[in-house]
Structure 1
Amino acid sequence: MKLTILGSSGSVGGPTNPASGYLVNVDNSPGLLVDIGPGVLGQLQEVQDPCDAHVVFSHLHADHCLDFPSLMVWRRYHPYAPAKGRNLCFGPSTTLGHLGVLSADSPGEVDDMSDTFAFAPWRTGEPHIIDRLTVTPFEAVHPVEAYCLRITEHTSGKTIAYSGDTGWTEQLVECARDADVFLCEATWCSGEGDFPPDMHLSGTEAGRAARLAGVKKLVIVHIPPWGDPEATLAAARAEFDGPVEVGQQGQVIEF
């Protein structure tokens, strides 16, 4: 199982780090693209055929989905290597309308993506089989419909947990239970400041979730360009004594 961080910047892209996008690969299967924020498609081209990937969304804020219309252009209109068939797409219940407006030609239209993706909405706790992976959504705490995602490879049982964007919730801990790799957002960095509730996590909370879930490795992501990665890392390590690192664009984790 291989995880490639295509982009991990929080809320907006950074000068050298796109917004959220993660690629999961297993042998003899299409890739699984988890979120596709601004700048992610360009990084995807470096490591994988963009037409050979399923797509799942944690939620539909712009920093997690805004490169999807460009992916549609690539899949449909690439002059010599367009998509040969449909891939799967899963996301919040509003995905078709939300993204269809972004890729439509005219105001008021909704682009029909069924020519290149077969879509189904998440339902909390309902697992979906995507080739050799099972993806299970857990309800997140965020201003929009949002999910934490648990991704498990069938034969080995290896698991990646992804927080998406969320405030503190016990569902996050359940999603990450015993995961081999836990990608956890820490937008509030060290947690020092007056932040709105029910929106994001701090490094302290990311570390606490990792400890309570018993994960093997914590990778902190979604730190904004103005954030302090070192302070965030220190806050997480104060709560979790296992391996912790800040996820970097281009980083590959194989396990």
Structure 2
Amino acid sequence: MRLHVIGCSGSFAGPDGAASSYLLEQEDADGRVWRVLMDLGSGAFGPLQSVIDPADLDAVIISHLHPDHYLDLTGLEVFWAYHERTDLPQLPIHAPAPLPERLSAVLSRDGRIPDGTDRVPFEYGALTDGQELRIGPFEMTVREVQHPVEAYGFRIRAGGSVLAYSGDTDACPALDELAADADLFLCEAGYVEGRDDRFTGVHLTGRRAGDCAARAGARSLALTHIPAWTDPEVPLAEARAAFPGEITMVRPMDILELSS
């Protein structure tokens, strides 16, 4: 399984890159490469186009409906609805149930059909806690996690490897379950110990991400969702104090290869 980091800036697009977006690639038994996008936050649709033709996407997963995780779906919808190709199928979008209405509100329209067209470009599927998804060679377990809005983390199995993705969350039992024995735990660390203690139920710190990875027995930890005002060395040091395994601080355009 291959993971492309399209954007990883926390809470908003930063000076060096877009907000959260990650592209998964995996070949199936017939050699066909499947591509699933996890989140498409503010500023991410531009760099996505430097990695693949968006028409090659097989599905999109949206963890929650904060702008830094879904807002650039507006650009993807324009691409899909008005593209010169007329053979594009509806693109499956798996997300919290309010997404279609949220997109319509952002685009100042009634209903799901883009202006001047006669069809809905996306096929929406509502995420639920405990759901099992199958997209080509990807098998995904969905769990609701701890965030101020409806939010989900994911356990993704493909090619004999396991990737856990936290989405946005504070520490919770569901996150430990998702990360159990994962080959790679892609985990947000948006807060810093001490500085952000006044906020609860929103984000992890590097320390809490490391604690979760250690409890879960994850093989490696990749930290993400670091906001522009935070020195990445701080959450990295916090995580290293809690987790003895390999730790990576992801950067825009990183490519991570998973092996079991």
TM-score of the pair, normalised by structure 1: 0.93
Q: CA deviation at 1:111?
A: 2.4
Q: Structure 1 pair 82/39, CA: closer, same or farther in 2 (3 Å)?
A: farther
CA contact (8 A) 1:186 1:220 kept: yes
In the alignment, structure 2 segments of 5+ residues that lack a partner are none
Q: CA deviation at 1:2?
A: 0.5
Q: Structure 1 pair 232/102, CA: closer, same or farther in 2 (3 Å)?
A: same
The answer to whether residue 106 in structure 2 is matched with residue 111 in structure 1 is no
Counterpart-to-counterpart distance in 1, 2:46 and 2:198 = 32
> Equivalent residue for 1:251?
254
One-letter identity of the residue aligned with 1:41: F
One-letter identity of the residue aligned with 1:221: T
> Equivalent residue for 2:150?
145
CA contact (8 A) 2:187 2:221 kept: yes
The answer to whether residue 224 in structure 2 is matched with residue 235 in structure 1 is no
> Equivalent residue for 1:75?
80
**Aligned length, in residue pairs:** 249
Q: Deviations over 1:24-79 (max 9, x none)?
A: 01121431110001111111101111122111111010110110011011112133
> Secondary structure at the residue paired with 2:148?
coil
Counterpart-to-counterpart distance in 1, 2:188 and 2:198 = 15
> Secondary structure at the residue paired with 2:49?
helix
1:130-209 mapped onto 2 (5 Å cutoff): 130-153=135-158, 156-209=159-212
Q: Single out whichever of 234-243 and 188-197 deviates more from structure 2.
A: 188-197
> Equivalent residue for 1:37?
41
> Equivalent residue for 1:98?
102
> Equivalent residue for 2:5?
5
> Equivalent residue for 2:14?
14
Q: Which runs of 4+ in 1 moved over 6 A?
A: none
TM-score of the pair, normalised by structure 2: 0.91
Counterpart-to-counterpart distance in 1, 2:228 and 2:170 = 20
One-letter identity of the residue aligned with 1:167: D
Instruction: Tell me how large the CA RMSD over aligned residues is.
Output: 1.6
Q: Single out whichever of 185-194 and 157-166 deviates more from structure 2.
A: 185-194
CA contact (8 A) 1:6 1:23 kept: yes
